[in-house]
Amino acid sequence: MSTVRAEDVLARMSPESRARIAELSENLIAEYEIFLDLKAADDLTRETPEYKAKFASLPSECRAELLRLEAEKLRRYVGAMGGKLRASAEFPDGSKVVLDE
């Protein structure tokens, strides 16, 4: 099996194609950096006492729905890597939520 280097493939392309690829690459990098900033802000928000208190004050059905939405996002990430997510949550009021059903 032979190895093909990206530089060799790009060298065979027209200057217009290489310019378009460079432009798209820059756009993807910029979007990814924005994503990382938003994720960091979201993570910081979830760590505040206000957020935790607000989440804890929600009825267990609402907490369960929020957790299901988060679990679905994680399930997609894990599934994209060939895995399967399994999780459950237990709350102070004794309610339990199984997220992998």
Is pLDDT larger for residue 85 or for residue 22? 22
**pLDDT digit string (tens) for 54-97?**
878 888 888 788 877 877 887 887 888 788 877 777 888 888 88
Residue 20 in this model has a pLDDT that exceeds 90: yes
Nearest to 75 by CA among 85, 66, 65, 67: 85
Q: Which two tokens stand for residue 22?
A: 């460079």
Q: The whole model's pTM is what?
A: 0.43
Q: Is residue 101 predicted with pLDDT exceeding 80?
A: no
Nearest CA among 6, 53, 42, 40 for reference residue 25: 6
